[in-house]
């Protein structure tokens, strides 16, 4: 793979500690305070968007994100879109929650979002699949990865080859235009 160097990634990961990390004292950590409103550009974690939507963001956070350049990772869009997919359509609160999430995502400037299209839609599809199939926590990441593969293949005009019959059957139920070839092992 041209854009990913497996050996370099493995070498890089060798620095990882072998023991459990101890939680440091708050005083030893870089917490945002009112004096740090101005500064370098920010990349927002999903929890920032959630805290803003729920009115729980501290004043220093609100000032920082309205003062500094703000960027968004596709991970945040994925997590927000997965929430949309998981929400129960019959719950009366769902319409308001989906609308608020939509406004949040629509407010993200395209030049400040990094690689969102396939990953965002895959997260949404994954949330729907998890809700419909009742996946437990261990199946949710697998479903997300399957959805990324499925939608990426669709975008690039490719066909997914897999023996994961159950999950891809579910995806084909949701998006019949997808191209998948299934197989079983002997």
Residues 6+ positions from 82 with CB-CB distance below 8 Å: 123, 124, 126, 127, 130, 144
Q: Does residue 114 have a pLDDT over 70?
A: no
Task: Report the CATH number of the 32-157 domain.
Answer: 3.40.50
pLDDT tens track for 20-77: 667 778 888 788 887 777 888 887 888 888 888 889 888 888 888 898 888 877 777 8
Q: How far apart are CA 92 and CA 15, in angstroms?
A: 49
Residues 6+ positions from 79 with CB-CB distance below 8 Å: 46, 123
Q: How far apart are CA 22 and CA 27, in angstroms?
A: 14
Indicate the length of the chain as a whole number: 186
pLDDT tens track for 143-172: 888 887 888 788 878 878 888 888 889 888
């Amino acid at each position: 793979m041209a854009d990913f160097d497996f050996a370099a990634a493995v070498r890089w990961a060798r620095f990882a500690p072998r023991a459990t990390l101890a939680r440091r004292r708050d005083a030893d950590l870089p917490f945002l305070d009112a004096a740090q409103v101005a500064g370098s550009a920010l990349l927002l974690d999903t929890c920032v968007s959630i805290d803003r939507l729920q009115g729980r963001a501290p004043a220093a956070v609100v000032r920082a994100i309205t003062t500094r350049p703000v960027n968004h990772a596709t991970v945040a869009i994925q997590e927000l879109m997965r929430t949309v997919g998981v929400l129960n359509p019959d719950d009366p609160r769902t319409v308001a929650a989906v609308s608020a999430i939509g406004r949040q995502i629509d407010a993200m400037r395209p030049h400040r979002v990094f690689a969102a299209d396939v990953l965002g839609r895959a997260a949404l599809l994954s949330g729907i699949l998890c809700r419909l199939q009742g996946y437990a926590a261990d199946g949710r990441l697998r479903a997300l990865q399957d959805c990324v593969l499925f939608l990426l293949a669709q975008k690039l005009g490719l066909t997914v080859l897999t023996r994961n019959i159950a999950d891809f059957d579910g995806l084909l139920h949701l998006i019949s235009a997808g191209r998948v070839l299934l197989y079983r092992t002997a």
